[in-house]
Structure 1
Amino acid sequence: MSDTLNRRYSGISEQALDELRSRMNHPITDTVEPWCYEVTRDNIRHYAHGIGDDNPLWCDPDYARETKYGDIIALPSFIFPCDRVFSGYVGGLPGVHAMFAGIDVTWHKPMQRNDEISTEAMLKDLIPHETRFSGLAIQQIYNVKFYNQFGDLCADGDSWCFRTDRDIAREQGTKYAEQKARGHKVYTEEELAEINHLYGTEEIRGANPRFWEDVNEGDTLRRMVKGPMTITGFIAYAQGWGGLYIRAHKMAYKLQKSHQALGINNKYGVPDCPERVHWEPDFASEVGAPGAYDYGPERCSWLSHTVTNWMGDDGFLRKLKAQIRHHNVEGDTLFIDGKVTRKFRSEEGKPCVEIALKGINQNDDLSIEGSAEVELPSRAKP
């Protein structure tokens, strides 16, 4: 670290790391309540619309009544509003920034309309990394299990954030030097027309089954677009997801009182939440980002959206792995592609495929990558 570093925020100390390590593998019981306890029609729709997904299986009860489920179900990524820890509400390392960075999830059964969801969470691991973004960064991994009111396990998996030193990222980080020098994107009418064409031709497979026998290794998924990114879009996601620290008036006071390092003064001298990086470009630059940027859970949800559009109502998303690689800032556009890399039967004999997923922005920067495992209907009798 340079002696000229202008220290404004807390750094990563060994003392704070030791305190955090002492929490590993213990149930977390003191987190804030989730945005959604219940899988209601409105909660499902608000979350789906927050990621730009209008699939009638989660949004239209009349349509869903004709499916095998008999009613709407929650889209797979609805697990995010059901648990704050899984969404990135990390503990420890006060004053150190947290950036959501990935998931590794298995779904066991759909969340049905009016299910009541409970969760169990624990801190699983802390892994140090040397990065171009902020020097030393700590990968903070949590494991969370999601249960319905009958005690059935609906989903379980890991999610993780990278804890980064705001001052080093702002003053010495090199990851976004070229992007900052390039400036923000301004779109031509032709570029917007290409994006709008992808929106206009987006296909929801729906009631038309995609049979396992008709899928081949090497098949590609229809390209999905998200963007151009706007602060309006980031806020639309927060409306359905709930955010981590967005509170008003007395509720903001109570949250900041219980977490003394949470509030960071805004330009009026008022302590405000660190989540402002998603709608205040100047504050985003304070943590080393090139501009106000999207939410990590939002981007993981876009990968699952790509898959659920492709697999149809009778498919089931069993697994999703996603690793976030690059910030999507205001003005960026994300293009998501998928390719079938494996066709197989599971240990239980289920007909499945594996799909490689990748999202790049308008400059061909890798934004997110991952893989999905999908169970498909078969023409053959069980």
Structure 2
Amino acid sequence: MNTKETTDAGISKELALGKFTDKMLDDMRALIGTELRTESCLNNEYATRLAIMRFCEGIGDDNPLWTDANYAKDGPYKTLVAPPSFIFACLGSVQVGWPGLGGFHAETKMTFNEPIRVGEKITAKVTFDGFDGPIDDSNFGGRRIKDYLRQEYRNENGELKATFICSRMRFERGEMQKRRESRAIEVPHPWKDEEIAEIEKQILAERPRGAETRYWDDVQVGDELDVITKGPLGLTDFIAFIAAGAAPIPRVAAHAVSLKRYHKHPKWAFRDPRTHALEPVYSVHYNDYAAQLQGAQIAYDVGIQRTCWQIHSLTNWMGDAGQLRAITGQYRAHVYLGDVVRLGGRVESKEIDTNGEYVVKLTTWATNQRDQKVMPGTAVVALPKRPAA
């Protein structure tokens, strides 16, 4: 197969194979502090009932506080609210610079204020905050940098709902491809029927804490969260995340709409040699061929998708009256089609913060069936104080 064959539009059968250059680095330094255009990446401007429901279906979270209006009217907000992760369904992220380089989402840092209520209009502002490197990392993908996008989400009254610091690793795809075989594992995982039955039994037993208030007073250091499980991950799980409106950079489109984009920006796409169809770079998350060009084994999850699962775990634990204040997460390994991820956490400390809120600080984790720590992280949750007797 001649992977370097191109069309008249300049679209190749491989992903772009850019290289770090002094000019590229200088150009990117000149962009530091720039507010980025977001129009092509916006998904939902309003937190409508159906937008919230679609998003929750796409991450597998059926908490009635997000999805059942009759239940929510008796809750702490007297109306439906969106899960904290819903900001990704407004705008997951955008692309900036680094022409021809590959990218993996490396780390997430988020802070949250009041929840998004049904009907609110959410606007995202994205700023390029710079990058670290380049540095050499021969064990993974050769020369690389880590860049930072600051994303702020506000409602129509200008109230800040959440801040998301999105960090990505940028690398030369040719170097990643050279090292792919050194990271080879058996994929998809060879599950046995009895293992699948037990996994599905565990998933069906999961429940959010809901209206049963978890009081700060009753939490003890060392307490562990109930585990939630995602998987075995199928293609529909990955597509559902796109259907939820959470596919970043830019929106996924079809037919003439996408073709016009790819002819204008040839490096946004490649031609699949099996189907002869044009596919976006984003298809590394559902197209094995594209994922292998990126240096992975087969199709793999989206970084913010994994963060949505982390938030699902936390909101299940804290109950309706709790509020998520902050999280961090580092993406340490690919999560592939067929994998199972179990998410949990542990209470590390309790305190009254500078705002007078009663908070607990947690260590969180996500572990696959290979016992890889695929997303170590942290969280801060505000809980109600038990009323005096």
Identity of aligned residues (%): 30
Query: Where does residue 318 of structure 1 map in the other structure?
Result: 325
Query: Where does residue 64 of structure 2 map in the other structure?
Result: 56
What stretches of structure 1 move > 4 A for 4+ residues in a row?
Answer: none
Secondary structure of the residue aligned to 1:113 is coil
Contact 1:90 1:98 in 2 (8 A): no
Query: Where does residue 312 of structure 2 map in the other structure?
Result: 305
Alpha-carbon distance change, 274 to 345 in structure 1, aligned in 2, over 3 angstroms? same
Matched, 1:39 2:44: no
Paired with 2:172 and 2:217, the residues of 1 have a C-alpha distance of 50
Q: Which moved more, 1:273-282 or 1:164-173?
A: 164-173
Secondary structure of the residue aligned to 2:162 is strand
Query: Where does residue 208 of structure 1 map in the other structure?
Result: 212
Matched, 1:224 2:231: no
Matches within 5 A, 1:74-153: 74-83=82-91, 87-128=92-133, 129-131=135-137, 132-153=139-160
Secondary structure of the residue aligned to 1:380 is coil
Alpha-carbon distance change, 127 to 197 in structure 1, aligned in 2, over 3 angstroms? same
Contact 2:41 2:94 in 1 (8 A): no
Matches within 5 A, 1:199-348: 199-244=203-248, 245=250, 246-267=252-273, 268-348=275-355
Contact 1:207 1:313 in 2 (8 A): yes
Query: Where does residue 191 of structure 1 map in the other structure?
Result: 195
Measured against aligned partners, the alpha-carbon deviations of 1:252-301 in whole angstroms (never above 9, x if no partner) come to 13432443321212215544201111111122111110111111110011
Paired with 1:259 and 1:22, the residues of 2 have a C-alpha distance of 22
Paired with 2:37 and 2:336, the residues of 1 have a C-alpha distance of 34
Secondary structure of the residue aligned to 1:172 is helix
Alpha-carbon distance change, 303 to 211 in structure 1, aligned in 2, over 3 angstroms? same
- Of 25, 30, 38, 1:22 maps to 30
Q: Which moved more, 1:219-228 or 1:18-27?
A: 18-27
C-alpha displacement of 1:116? 0.4
Alpha-carbon distance change, 305 to 379 in structure 1, aligned in 2, over 3 angstroms? same
Paired with 1:18 and 1:248, the residues of 2 have a C-alpha distance of 35
C-alpha displacement of 1:366? 1.3
Paired with 1:7 and 1:329, the residues of 2 have a C-alpha distance of 20
Paired with 1:258 and 1:362, the residues of 2 have a C-alpha distance of 42
Instruction: Please report the RMSD computed on the Cα atoms of aligned residues, expressed in angstroms.
Output: 1.8
Paired with 1:60 and 1:186, the residues of 2 have a C-alpha distance of 38
Paired with 1:127 and 1:168, the residues of 2 have a C-alpha distance of 19
Contact 1:37 1:116 in 2 (8 A): yes
Paired with 1:153 and 1:257, the residues of 2 have a C-alpha distance of 38
Paired with 1:252 and 1:7, the residues of 2 have a C-alpha distance of 17
Contact 1:104 1:158 in 2 (8 A): yes
Secondary structure of the residue aligned to 1:125 is strand
C-alpha displacement of 1:29? 3.1
Q: Which moved more, 1:266-275 or 1:330-339?
A: 266-275
Gaps of 5+ in 1: 1-5
Secondary structure of the residue aligned to 1:162 is strand
Paired with 2:226 and 2:329, the residues of 1 have a C-alpha distance of 19
> Partner amino acid for 1:190?
E
Contact 1:88 1:100 in 2 (8 A): no
C-alpha displacement of 1:24? 0.8
> Partner amino acid for 2:110?
V
Paired with 1:209 and 1:8, the residues of 2 have a C-alpha distance of 52
Query: Where does residue 66 of structure 1 map in the other structure?
Result: 74
Secondary structure of the residue aligned to 2:210 is coil
**TM-score of the superposition, structure 2-length normalised?**
0.91
**TM-score of the superposition, structure 1-length normalised?**
0.92
Query: Where does residue 3 of structure 1 map in the other structure?
Result: none
Secondary structure of the residue aligned to 2:268 is coil
Gaps of 5+ in 2: 1-13
C-alpha displacement of 1:30? 5.6
Q: Which moved more, 1:66-75 or 1:305-314?
A: 66-75
Paired with 1:107 and 1:7, the residues of 2 have a C-alpha distance of 36
Query: Where does residue 3 of structure 2 map in the other structure?
Result: none
C-alpha displacement of 1:17? 2.3
